[in-house]
Structure 1
Amino acid sequence: MEDDAAAAAAVSKVLSDDDLLAEILVRAGFPTTLVRAAAVCKRWLHHASHKAFLRRFRKLNPPRILGFYTQIFQGDPRFVPMLPQPPELAAAVRIVKGYSFGAPNDGDSLVSHEVLVHDCRNGSVSTALRSTRNHAMRFEELLGFTVGMDSPLCPEKAMAIDPPLSPHHQHPKYRGLGPAGFLILSREEKDGSLSYFFVLLENPTSLDTTSETNFAVHVFMLKDGAWCMLASATTQIDHWREDIRAVLVDNRIYIMATYIEITVLDLTTSSFSTVKLPPGLSDSMISRADDASSVSLVGMKEHQLGIWLHKGDSWSIVGTICLREMCANLMMSDCSVKDMIISPLWIIHVGDNAEFVILQMGRSVFYLDTRCRTLRTLYETPEDELYQVDFSIQPFMMIWPPTFPAIKCDPTRFAFWPLDTLYYSDLIDVLWLSKVRLPSHC
């Protein structure tokens, strides 16, 4: 009894020290573990939910990638888990994998429904549901178009909103309302909330009515369940690409409309500017950078991958990676990877700050960690399925900040010893995950 009392006093002394308690909680490692720790008592909840603590926790334990949404032709988006995952995130991965976007099935063979994933950020998935009818191969009639905001980990937050289509886009013969005819972008605000933007790209040549260099962009922001016009501008672009890529950084949209330069739309002034790409790139993609005035670029020159940062008016090289050697090493260690060296290499996604790059070679999709310089197989299209060159993929990250539960009025949750069995087991798990040694009798 005396030993137990002494051990209890020692643990209580440790946990009553606010500074030491914060050091323990910040090492929980996962948001799910932090939520369990916060449920021990109100004092732990106060520490775990404090904004300064959460900023520190996120810096030490950045949100993990749970998996990726892939797009295969007109099939529903497919979630591919990022493996291996720690046991603490297994439940979250299982929930996301089982989530369905629910495209309708009306039994009409001439009517097709296509769900496209456009953006994934902080647990939110922005989709576009496009319904069309084929009229005897003459033209494709647009029957319906809906923008969806889904949250697989919080299904009750899902909502569907009609997009703000112009009369030009509603014309039944307009061919520009495909994947390159619009963009759905999101921006994480300072308070952690998300703002959504619908970007309508207008190319009047789809109706053969104006000069082929005309390029109009209309930007709408979602406010209180409705799309509100934010900016609109027109410019001249020669030889604009069909697979338009874009990223929203602060109040600027960087649009890769051609293969030689980036068209930048300033949402504050509704004006365009251009940024020349580094010369000699066969493929490239941009991403957000830490600095709101900068943008990252990953570009390909043969099998050499370059990483640049654009700040001010110039590009600065951050690093280069020789993919030929990495691919050869992966092919030797993974017998399922075939003919990698001779297949074309494409960049299909770049993470924020260019921390990772998703690459495609034939049927294989690879994950490149640019900081650790490691390459691994992420996905392989089965032999019995068709595969496409313009493979679409969006990473799904763990939600941040975590949602903390409300603690019920329970006197035992104000005490540190003894705790009831459930709460005490949570405390043990948190301390163990934080690498804090408990007394041997625990």
Structure 2
Amino acid sequence: MGRTERKRSGPAAAVPAAVASVLGNDVLLAEILLRLDLPTWLVRAALVSRRWFRGASDPAFLRHFRALHPPRVLALHANAVGFGRGETRCLPVPQPPGLAAAAPSRRCAARNSATAATAACCLLNNGRDEPIPQPPRSNPGSLLRDKRGTCEGSLLRLLENDADSTSCLFLNLRYNDEELAAEFSLLQSGVWGVARSTVTELPQRIFDTMVAHKLLVGRKFYMTTALGYILGLDLVTASFFTVQLPADIWNSTSFRLSRPQQSGLYLIDAKGFQLQVCRGDGMGQWALVDTISVPKVCGHLNVRRWVPDDAQTAPVSVLAAGENAEFVFLELVASGIVCCIQLSNRAVERVGVGLRMTEDFIRPLTMVWPPVFPVLN
């Protein structure tokens, strides 16, 4: 009887030792934590012990984790054509059970000011809730030669990687069919700086300027055009410059820009059913870094129609792109399906149908990154 008990206790006693040998190994522990696909689970794992906390919060580990599991998109902040002037909506993206409670509600409160909506969206996207002082009034229209038939738009963007977590850019644009005037001011230490202004030629339709994709990267502001180049504004020198597009997309107006973790630009474009991602230096040098077959990755969406009735209409439209080219929102034009593709792992989720948005009125709201870990006592 005693011998039988010893036989049973032997393997049972070895189990804790085997578990300890695995979980006590930092390399093996990191491999286990990398298989937690949500940052929320990573924070929970960090509460197990000090060893797990150190492993989960290590900067090198977090960089690897983000490469495998980019921050998920919780919703789309949209102010689309047909919504009504100044009205905004939050369109939730389907979430796994661990994130369902974090997704915004079906409809956000309407905003009277497009600037206020942009600011709220920008702050939510970066996990910050500090109040922003009222931006200064500006009048860039005075710089235009012809004051007639002009349109105006304002942008408020947080300055990334700045020592002051509330540093912002307020940019007011005034344009017509021939010129673009910009006046901007920077918020630092809670105080708006002196407004600076400049003007450049921009011979394109007012509508093309209105819906152009606009992106802030460091101290440079970029805007797409229908003229075969990207228009840039250097906030340090208060001067415009141009960035030539890759030769094979010179005539494209559907490409979108993405801000990399380092300097430069990502450019994402759809050529037929092929998605291509280019990395550039922000001055006109580009390299192709990825291509994706849209029908291949979207096959599980049960798309009934792929080809539009109009042979001239592109079958795939790029609506928006996430930072560091981590995800992209596409519209399958013939079916009206809008989907989100995680470019690193090719995971695809269906967002909605028939949203009919122009890119400048859609902004993804993502999870805060890096995760906020508790403070050890």
Q: 1:222 to 1:13 in 2, by over 3 A?
A: same
Which of 182-191 and 31-40 deviates more?
A: 182-191
User: How many residues are matched?
Assistant: 349
Contact persistence 1:326–1:375 (CA under 8 A): no
Question: Which SS does the other structure have where 2:155 is aligned?
Answer: strand
Q: Are the counterparts in 2 of residues 199 and 219 from structure 1 also a CA contact under 8 Å?
A: yes
Name the counterpart of 2:145. Answer: none
TM-score by length of 1: 0.63
Structure 1 residue 301 displacement after superposition? 5.3
1:397 is aligned with what amino acid?
A: T
Question: Structure 2 matches for 1:13-162, cutoff 5 A?
Answer: 13-72=21-80, 73-74=83-84, 76-83=87-94, 85-93=95-103, 96-97=104-105, 100-101=108-109, 103=111, 117-118=117-118, 125-126=121-122, 149-150=123-124, 157=129, 159-162=131-134
Residue equivalent to 1:418? none
1:176 aligns with 2:151: yes
Corresponding residue number in structure 2 for 1:273: 241
Shift of 1:273: 1.7
Tell me which residue corresponds to 2:190.
225
Q: Check 1:194–1:37 CA distance in 2 against 1; reply closer, same or farther (3 A cut).
A: farther
CA distance in 2 between partners of 1:376 and 1:200 (Å): 35
The answer (yes or no) to whether the contact 1:282–1:300 under 8 Å persists in 2 is no
Aligned-partner residue type, residue 265 of structure 2: V
1:167-211 deviation per Cα after TM superposition (whole angstroms, max 9, x unaligned): 5679xx99634xxx12233443288967532222133x6xxxxxx
More displaced 10-residue stretch of structure 1: 226-235 or 240-249: 226-235
Q: Which of 197, 205, 210 is the aligned partner of 1:242?
A: 210
Which secondary structure does the structure 2 equivalent of 1:54 belong to?
Answer: helix
Pairing partner for 1:400 from 365, 369, 374: 369
Query: Partner residue of 1:197?
Result: 169
1:122-146 C-alpha deviation (Å, 9 max, x unpaired): xx722xxxxxxxxxxxxxxxxxxxx
- Relative contact order, higher structure (CA 8 A, sep 6+): 1
CA deviations 1:234-289 (Å, max 9, x no partner) are 32222252223222223322222443221222223333221233433243322224
| Consecutive unaligned residues in structure 1, runs of 5 or more | 104-111, 127-148, 206-211, 409-442
Are the equivalent residues in 2 in contact too, given 1:296–1:309 (CA < 8 A)?
yes
Deviations 1:24-61 (A, max 9, x none): 43443321112112222344333333333333333343
| Equivalent residue, structure 2, for 1:334 | 303
Contact 1:92 1:153 in 2 (8 A): no
Does residue 295 (structure 1) correspond to residue 261 (structure 2)? The answer is: no
Amino acid at match of 1:41: S
Distance 1:296 1:213 in 2: 28
Question: Do the aligned partners of residues 244 and 229 (structure 1) sit closer, same or farther apart at CA in structure 2, a change above 3 Å counting?
Answer: farther
Q: Distance in 2 between matches of 1:55 and 1:374?
A: 19
Aligned residue identity for 2:73: I
User: Cα offset for 1:10?
Assistant: 4.2
TM-score by structure 2 length? 0.72
In structure 1, C-alpha distance between the alignment counterparts of 2:241 and 2:363, rounded to whole Å: 28
Q: Is the 8 A contact 2:297 2:347 kept in 1?
A: no
Separation in 2 of the partners of 1:349 and 1:52?
Answer: 29
Q: Does 1:264 align with 2:229?
A: no
Partners of 2:71 and 2:368 within 8 A in 1: yes
Unaligned runs of 5+ in 2: 143-147
Q: Please say if 1:359 is aligned against 2:347.
A: no
Residue 255 of structure 2 corresponds to residue 284 of structure 1 = yes
Give the alignment's Cα RMSD to 1 decimal.
4.2
